[in-house]
């Protein structure tokens, strides 16, 4: 996947054609159940490949919390801020980003805890997969959501040429307002993926798998008084350290993701003093020093 190119002008034309400005979230995100094309039980592998059009692809996964408290974030992306993600990255000289959207819920409570799009580069296809996401509006009272399912998808169900060909890590972002549930049982993995057999795996183990090929970040959105309480991001500092990013203004999510990609990409490629960190994980130090485009 990943054919075509993104442009801000094309996205503005698409928004106008579809009338996003005057539509509600329910009118934009029309799925009332998981789309079969995004159903994790049907997805064996998603590919982010180089091509003549995109000779140096860069793989980026954006995992969106689609539970009841976070459904406003995908709506904001579609209506206003998505160009700040793709546009800023490309204006910084990273010409071949390929983005895959995930929908994340609660695997203990929800009907669609993991939705998996395709890696895409074009305006139309990025919009297609983003707006295919089913905003289930679920979640439960179990003190967490299934953000670790993003790690499962990235580690076991993606092939990315930036790593396979150049040993350049992709990027994985999860966005939410709760802790991460502690792990997945063998039964969970069999239920929500095509894997016929599995074994229990902890969140930390899934994270380590994903970090072999991706720089992994979590954006905790402090959008109301409850989400600002320390227990709502319990465990994240221990999991990710400085790669836990606190977001005070949800309208800055797309620009923040872009700044992280730009900063980490430049550090990986320009700083010889980092030794083999081009192939390892980098923290978010210095991210806020990147000038937003």
Residue with tokens 């990027």: 171
Residue 188 belongs to a domain: yes
**279 pLDDT exceeds 50?**
no
Helix, strand, coil in percent for the chain, rounding step 5: 45, 20, 40
Is the CB of residue 181 less than 8 Å from the CB of residue 239? no
DSSP category for residue 181:
P
- Residue 195 confidence class, pLDDT cut points 50, 70, 90: confident
User: Domain span at residue 103?
Assistant: 8-289
Tell me if 270 is assigned to some domain: yes
Reading phi first (left if > 0) and then psi (alpha if -120 to 50, else beta), residue 2 is in left
Whole-angstrom distance, CA of residue 152 vs CA of residue 251: 28
Encoding tokens for residue 78?
Answer: 């579609």
Report pLDDT for 143: 85
Measured between alpha carbons, how far is 128 from 118 in angstroms, rounded to an integer?
A: 10
Is residue 3 in a domain? no
Predicted confidence (pLDDT) at residue 65 exceeds the cutoff of 60 = yes
Q: What is the pLDDT of residues 209-218, one digit of tens each?
A: 999 999 999 9
Residues 6+ apart with CB under 8 A from 230: none
Residue 240 lies in a domain: yes
The predicted-structure confidence for 117-143, as pLDDT tens digits, reads as follows 999 999 999 999 999 999 999 888 898
pLDDT class of 268 with cuts at 50, 70, 90 = confident
Q: Are 89 and 261 in contact (CB under 8 A)?
A: yes
pLDDT tier at 285, thresholds 50, 70, 90: very low
Mean of pLDDT values over 162-187: 97
Q: Is the pLDDT of residue 280 over 90?
A: no
pLDDT at position 250 is 96
Q: What percent of the chain has pLDDT over 90?
A: 85
Task: Give the pLDDT confidence score for residue 1 in this predicted structure.
Answer: 60
Counting residues of the chain whose pLDDT is more than 70, the rounded percentage is 91
Question: In 139-249, where do the E strands start and end?
Answer: 158-160, 170-176, 183-184, 201-202, 214-221, 244-247
Residue 283 is predicted with a pLDDT of 43
User: DSSP character for 120?
Assistant: B
The whole-chain average pLDDT of the chain stands at 91
Is 2 within the bounds of a domain?
no
DSSP secondary-structure letter at 285? T
| Locus of tokens 């930390």 | 204
Q: Above 80 in pLDDT, residue 14?
A: yes
148 belongs to a structural domain? yes
pLDDT score of 31 more than 70: yes
Residues 6+ apart with CB under 8 A from 23: none
Does some domain include residue 23?
A: yes
Residue 271 reports pLDDT greater than 60: no
> Considering only 5-9, 138-142, 146-150, 236-240, which range has the smallest mean pLDDT?
138-142
- Give domain status of residue 250, yes or no: yes
Tally the domains of the chain. Answer: 1
Q: What is the CATH number of the domain that holds 99?
A: 3.40.50.410
The stretch 185-210 carries a mean pLDDT of 93
């Amino acid at each position: 996947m990943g054919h075509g190119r993104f442009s801000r002008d094309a996205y503005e034309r698409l928004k106008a054609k579809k009338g996003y400005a005057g539509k509600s979230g329910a009118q934009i995100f029309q799925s009332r159940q998981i789309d079969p094309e995004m159903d994790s039980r049907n997805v064996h592998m998603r590919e982010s490949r180089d091509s003549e059009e995109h000779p140096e692809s860069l793989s980026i996964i954006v995992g969106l919390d689609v539970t009841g408290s976070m459904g406003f974030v995908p709506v904001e992306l579609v209506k206003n801020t998505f160009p700040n993600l793709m546009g800023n990255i490309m204006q910084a000289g990273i010409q071949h980003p390929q983005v895959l959207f995930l929908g994340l819920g609660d695997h203990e409570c929800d009907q669609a805890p993991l939705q998996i799009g395709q890696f895409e580069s074009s305006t139309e296809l990025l919009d297609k997969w983003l707006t295919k996401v089913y905003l289930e509006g679920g979640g439960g009272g179990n003190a967490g959501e299934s953000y670790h399912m993003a790690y499962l998808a990235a580690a076991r169900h993606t092939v990315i040429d930036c790593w396979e060909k150049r040993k350049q890590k992709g990027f994985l972002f999860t966005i939410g307002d709760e802790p991460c549930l502690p792990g997945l049982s063998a039964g969970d993995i069999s239920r929500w993926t095509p894997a016929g057999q599995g074994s229990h795996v902890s969140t930390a183990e899934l994270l380590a798998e994903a970090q072999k090929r991706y720089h992994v970040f979590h954006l905790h959105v402090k959008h109301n008084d409850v989400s600002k309480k320390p227990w709502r991001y319990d465990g994240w500092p221990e999991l990710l350290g400085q790669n836990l990013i606190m977001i005070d203004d949800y309208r800055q999510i797309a620009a923040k993701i872009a700044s992280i990609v730009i900063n980490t990409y430049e550090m990986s490629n320009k700083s010889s003093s980092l030794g083999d960190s081009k192939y390892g994980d980098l923290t978010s130090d210095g991210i806020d020093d990147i000038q937003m485009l």
